Amino acid sequence: MKNKTIFLTLFVVVTALFFSINAFASPDYAFYPVSGIGSTSPVYEFNSDQTPFIYANLTNALPPEGFLIFKTNIDTNWKLGAALQDTVNVNGLQQAEFWFTSPNWSSIVQPGEWTVSGDATITDLFTKNTITRSPTTSFTVNAVPEPISSILFISGGSILAAKRLFRRRKS
């Protein structure tokens, strides 16, 4: 009987630890880079000629009883390394799902590791209760060679290959 009690106690403790760890492992929001508006598939690498969008879904952060009328506000910082490149604010009434990008992306895009971090607040407009989250995500931007560089590379390689071919035919 004593062994059963010890086993049952140990089982309860391990199960409680498992569920408490998993509760912290999966946040109640989604915040990650995607390829465009409407996409919910994460993309963590972009070329410099592509525009990354951030998908933010705070629907699961709402309380189970819900808010009757709520406003969502997300303030984000877009950083390349540690250097702040842009700030973006998005908000909506009765909206907890957003797709957004930096409106200045074409002028700030540079290859490297980008981080987008923010403060998200959902406010019940009747009770003034608020829910806050601090989401962060990152993605990589790769350099894309200019078309003229590719053309020069291909034409130079072709000339060298043709020269080599003619030398072989002569000998």
SS3 content of the chain, % helix, strand, coil (to 5): 30, 35, 30
List, for the chain, all residue ranges whose pLDDT scores fall below the cut of 50.
Answer: 16-25
How far apart are alpha carbons 29 and 168 in whole angstroms?
65
Range of the domain at 92: 28-170
What CATH number does the domain containing 112 carry? 2.60.40.1930
- Specify if 9 maps to a domain: no
Residue 45 lies in a domain: yes
Residue 37's pLDDT is what? 95
Measured between alpha carbons, how far apart are the two ends of the chain, in Å?
95
Q: Does residue 15 belong to any structural domain of this protein?
A: no
What is the total count of domains within the chain? 1
pLDDT of residue 5: 66
Q: Say which residues have a Cβ less than 8 Å from residue 20's Cβ, sequence separation at least 6.
A: none
Cα separation, 29 vs 27, whole angstroms: 5
pLDDT at 15: 53
Q: In this structure, what are the phi and psi dihedrals at residue 65, rounded to the nearest 5 degrees?
A: -80, -10
Looking at 44-96, list the stretches that DSSP marks H as alpha helix, in order from N- to C-terminal side.
Answer: none
pTM: predicted TM-score of the whole model, two decimal places: 0.70
For residue 22, tell me if it sits in a domain.
Answer: no
Residue 113 lies in a domain: yes
Note the pLDDT of residue 155.
81
Q: What is the pLDDT of residue 45?
A: 96
Find all residues with CB under 8 Å of 7, minimum gap 6, and list them: none
Residue 20 included in any domain: no
